[in-house]
């Protein structure tokens, strides 16, 4: 049986369909999307989070209704450059006018052995 039969349909797909994304349930004061490479093993790439405070900040110009799509589109720019699975957290100092203003490598992160 292939992994496609046990992996749920993704919430997001890249144009090439090689990188897929899933909205995560809120378990902390963050919105988040998990990125996977659609290969034989569905390799985990990154979990990208943004704090509720960052979204609520007037200078972020982000909205809760569209934040998961914004996270996915933002993460697509760099997820395949990350050398090992990480959780990256965007805070209010990292975003302005609807854009990530700090380089992804400068985001708060934690490495998780998968």
pLDDT digit string (tens) for 7-39? 678 899 888 878 999 998 877 899 999 999 988
pLDDT at 112: 58
Task: Tell me if 79 is assigned to some domain.
Answer: yes
Task: Tell me if 112 is assigned to some domain.
Answer: no
Show the domain range for 94. Answer: 3-106
When divided into structural domains, the chain yields a total of: 1
Task: Tell me the mean pLDDT in the region 98-110.
Answer: 94
Task: Tell me if 43 is assigned to some domain.
Answer: yes
Encode the chain in three state secondary structure: CCHHHCCCCCCEECCCCCEEEEECCCCCCEEEEEEEECCCCCEEEEEEEEEHHHHHCHHHCCCCCCHHHHHHHHHHCCHHHCCCCEEEEECHHHEECCEECCCHHHCEEEECCC
The 3-state DSSP class for residue 19 equals strand
List Cβ neighbours of 99 (8 Å cut-off, separation of 6 or more). Answer: none
Distances (CA, A) of 11 to 20, 30, 57, 103: 8, 18, 26, 25
Window from 49-53, 83-87, 90-94 with minimum mean pLDDT? 83-87
pTM of the model: 0.85
């Amino acid at each position: 049986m292939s992994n496609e039969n046990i992996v749920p349909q993704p919430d997001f797909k890249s144009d090439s369909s090689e990188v897929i994304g899933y909205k995560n349930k809120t378990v902390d004061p963050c919105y988040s999307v998990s990125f996977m490479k659609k290969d034989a093993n569905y390799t985990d790439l990154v979990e990208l989070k943004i704090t509720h405070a960052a979204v609520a900040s007037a200078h972020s110009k982000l909205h809760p209704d569209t934040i998961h799509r914004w996270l996915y589109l933002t993460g697509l720019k760099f997820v395949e450059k990350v050398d090992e699975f990480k959780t990256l957290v965007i805070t209010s100092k990292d975003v302005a006018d609807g854009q990530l203003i700090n380089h992804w490598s400068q985001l708060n992160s934690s490495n998780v052995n998968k």
